[in-house]
Amino acid sequence: MNGPSSKSFPVTWDQFHRDSRALAWRLMDKGPYSAVVCITRGGLVPAAIVARELGIRVIESVSVASYDHKDQGNIRVLKPIADSVLAANGGAEGSVLIIDDLVDTGATARVVRDMLPGAHFATVYAKPKGREMVDTFITEVSQDTWIYFPWDLDVSYVPPISGQAD
């Protein structure tokens, strides 16, 4: 998606916490997991919540840049996954769990999935173009919906839909 559309989906901290815990519930019987790899930055918060709920102590990050605040561009791996986590994937202690906030077109997910082909990939939200890249998600939104995450928002006045202010 290129930039915010007329469809917006603002997510509060409370809602995001509930949705991340719901993701943990869905993942509970799909493990065991030896580690969580979060895709930064959006995957940091849900990964912390899921790791806590599932009792996973090894948390790794992979830094992949593809967005600015409104557009998706070229994908760059800024920080790769640690070799110890790559080696642990599919071992005796279980597979690695990849967590992100959202799968949009699937381009970022594809890059990370290629790094950990046997991992279980989970996101809180999914859009149709990227949905096939993830194994588990909580909420699907339309491709033309822009999700406003709580870390991107500030509380401010919103005019009435009619445009007529009191």
pLDDT digits (tens, 9 = 90+) for 40-71: 999 999 999 999 999 999 999 999 987 655 55
What strands lie across the sheet with 136-140, from one edge to the other?
72-79, 59-67, 33-40, 95-103, 120-126, 136-140
pLDDT higher than threshold 50 for residue 2: no
Per the model's pLDDT, the better-predicted residue between 102 and 88 turns out to be 102
Residue 165 lies in a domain: no
Residue 161 lies in a domain: no
Q: Report CA dihedral (27, 56, 31, 114) to the nearest 10 degrees.
A: 90
Highest mean pLDDT out of 60-74, 79-93, 135-149? 135-149
Choice among 19, 101, 114, 152 that is catalytic? 101
Q: Is residue 100 annotated as part of the catalytic site, yes or no? A: yes
Residue 48 lies in a domain: yes
Q: Is residue 114 annotated as part of the catalytic site, yes or no? A: no
Residue 71 lies in a domain: yes
Cα–Cα distance measured from residue 86 to residue 164, given in angstroms and rounded to the nearest whole number = 56
CATH classification at residue 48: 3.40.50.2020
Nearest to 34 by CA among 92, 110, 116: 92
Beta bridge partners of 112: none
The domain of 119 spans: 7-151
Residue 114 lies in a domain: yes
Choice among 19, 100, 135, 144 that is catalytic? 100
62 touches 81 (CB < 8 A) = yes
Nearest to 124 by CA among 1, 11, 6: 11
State the CB neighbour count (10 A cutoff) for residue 29.
Answer: 6
- Average pLDDT value over all residues in the chain: 89
Report how far apart the first and last C-alpha atoms of the chain are (Å, whole number). 35
Residue 96 lies in a domain: yes
Q: What percent of the chain has pLDDT over 90?
A: 70
Residue 17 lies in a domain: yes
Choice among 104, 114, 135, 144 that is catalytic? 104
Domains identified in the chain, total number: 1
pLDDT digits (tens, 9 = 90+) for 142-151: 999 999 999 9
Task: Tell me the pTM.
Answer: 0.85
150 touches 13 (CB < 8 A) = yes
Residue 164 lies in a domain: no
